[in-house]
Amino acid sequence: MGRKIAGLSLNVFLLGVVSLITDISSEMISPVFPMFIAFLGGTGLIVGLIGGAGDFTASLLNIFSGYWSDKIGRRKGFVFSGYFLSSLTKTLFALSTSWIHLLLLKPLERVGKGLRTSPRDALISESAEKKVRGKAFGLHRAMDTTGAILGSLLSFLLIYFLTWEMRQVILLGGLIGFIALVPLVFVHERKGLKRKIKELSLRISLRKLPKNLQIYILVASLFSLSNFTYMFFILRAQDFFTGKLALSIPILFYVWFNIIYAFLSIPTGVLSDRIGRAVVLFTGYLLYGLSCLALTTKISTLQLFIAFTLYGLSYAFFDGTQRAFVSDLSEAEVRGTALGTFHTSASVMALVSSILAGAIYSYISPAATFLFAALVALTAAMLLILFVKTGKI
């Protein structure tokens, strides 16, 4: 863990490679997944339910996997098990013949994410000094999202040029996920860091966190109420096209979102190291709100391009920075628990968000879905700045 590359631990790079390969796997599936749900008979409400149920399942395990990894002082076993389970379940998506199968399988796939996310983020945090922690998380987000770009492009090429069916693309994506387990074998963790935590309790875990971190988690949770599943962005883009283009062009917009996200993740991480996390987070929340506003009227190709550009910019600013900020505000002995609490709180709100968005999308209008998200995101941005200026965060 002492070996450095460009000022960062080799562990950070290895975990980045794991995420890169995993996202090639996952993002071959992600852009076609909402369309696959619709193909199997699912409505907008079902899309929100499946997306939200998956994130909620991950949230149930995020805090406990973080707690358990703190308690026993080991992270790697949780990370390995999580990646393996996700890869196994993704291959089963291709066998689904009803959206009900996906409603059952998606949460199981997210169990893998819940097992791995908080321990993995804690590994990254422990492998990077505070002065370069934003850079470390930015690098991880960049490699993760580079995998998303490659996976989405591969999905587009297979569908548009080779005329693969969605089911074939999903199966190949699931199988690729197993390759990510190879670099994970070479990740090292510090031994002998067993934490003195007496009781497994969400209430106790929250009480152990500093007050300013608790307040930030509340703000981040409010923002998560606006941050519904990406699948609604895909469906919104699909509404604009017909025929073969309705299946392939939304994938390209999703690729563009990930290109922007990947290209700026490291610079925004470094920026947060230099000017502070709060300013960068405020910018990310604001950009997300604007991306949703762009989809609240009758859309054009230009509006879709602007919306997905802002969507990618927002994730570059807030995604890795949120994790770094939580790490900064937490003490080392409960960092896994703090990250788990953050991920859990955000994911629970994301479940509510996705179900609400699905209901609004199905029973009111797609535009109203994005107006709701924009108003909530902009409110969270204003609250963040208010609490920072009053010294509560």
pLDDT, the chain, mean: 89
Q: What is the CATH T-level fold of the domain 4-186+202-389, as seen in this structure?
A: Growth Hormone; Chain: A; (1.20.1250)
pLDDT at residue 1 is higher than 60 = no
- In the DSSP assignment, the letter for residue 163 is -
Cα dist from 327 to 4, 95, 161, 279, 387, whole Å: 21, 40, 44, 16, 18
3-state secondary structure of 162: coil
Specify whether the CB–CB gap between 273 and 134 falls below 8 A. Answer: yes
Query: How much is the pLDDT for 171?
Result: 97
Query: In this predicted structure, which of 30-44, 55-69, 133-147 has the lowest mean pLDDT?
Result: 55-69
pTM of the model: 0.81
Tell me what pLDDT residue 204 has: 42
CA distance 84 to 191: 23
Is 111 a residue whose pLDDT tops 50?
A: yes
pLDDT in tens, 233-263: 999 999 888 888 888 999 999 999 988 988 8
Contact 78, 116 (CB under 8 A): yes
Q: Answer whether residue 328 shows pLDDT above 60.
A: yes
pLDDT range class, residue 200, cuts 50, 70, 90? very low
Each residue's pLDDT tens digit, 215-239: 999 999 999 999 998 999 999 999 8
List the domain boundaries for the chain: 4-186+202-389
- Angstrom CA distances, 250 to 50, 105, 180, 246, 283, stand at 20, 24, 27, 7, 26
Question: What single-letter amino acid sits at 328?
Answer: D
